[in-house]
Structure 1
Amino acid sequence: MVIGWAALTIDARDPLSLARWWAQTLGWEPADPAPAGVEVRPPDGRGPSLFFTRADGAKPAKNRLHLDLYAEDQAAAVNDLLARGATRAAVGQPDDADWVVLRDPEENEFCLLEPR
């Protein structure tokens, strides 16, 4: 049996707005909204997508799953993300970590790693 990965689904109070934020962050393309939510795909259509679906209420706790991203210029990327609505997050990472933990505008944590 083969099981493939299609998408990572993310709950959001405003799926369209959050999908647009992530599309801009990743340089991906948002699909037209559907009743179930909004999908954001890589431009070439290859690989898993992000799918944003409506969920009411505040996020109850730290994510148990998060994205690890990287940027050629980590500091510049952090500044850009903060200017666009991300916030810094302290989730137990060491003071000398070479990654930065951030939250998107709906408080979903993700890490921005040093370039690889």
Structure 2
Amino acid sequence: MSAGDWKEMYGAAASGNLELVQYHIKNGVNPNYQHPEIMSTALVASIIGGHSEISLFLLENGADPTLISEFDNLTPLQAAKMFKRQELVEILSKMIPKKSLWQKLSSIFKV
């Protein structure tokens, strides 16, 4: 078991507390975990909250840029576009191979 607390890290990502997010990542919290009560990721929460610095930190520390939020079926890139986070749209677009994103979306929507 890690010393970090995923729910606390998620809240920190959503509210803009970079120091607390860093603490939990350092203590082993998985940035890709989706808690059954919340069903989303800290990365999507930070994007929606407009906390680009946290989003970038999470991406640098293992957050999957193609992971789909179970709550709203949003990828981080879709969230960045929806909430007009242009800097993150550009960064995520470069990080995600087009083929990878297409494969993931087509498997969900049975395209």
Question: Of the two, which has the highest radius of gyration?
Answer: 1
Whether TM exceeds 0.5 here: the answer is: no
Question: TM-score under structure 2 normalisation?
Answer: 0.31
Q: Which has the higher helix share?
A: 2
Q: Which has the higher strand share?
A: 1
Question: TM-score under structure 1 normalisation?
Answer: 0.30
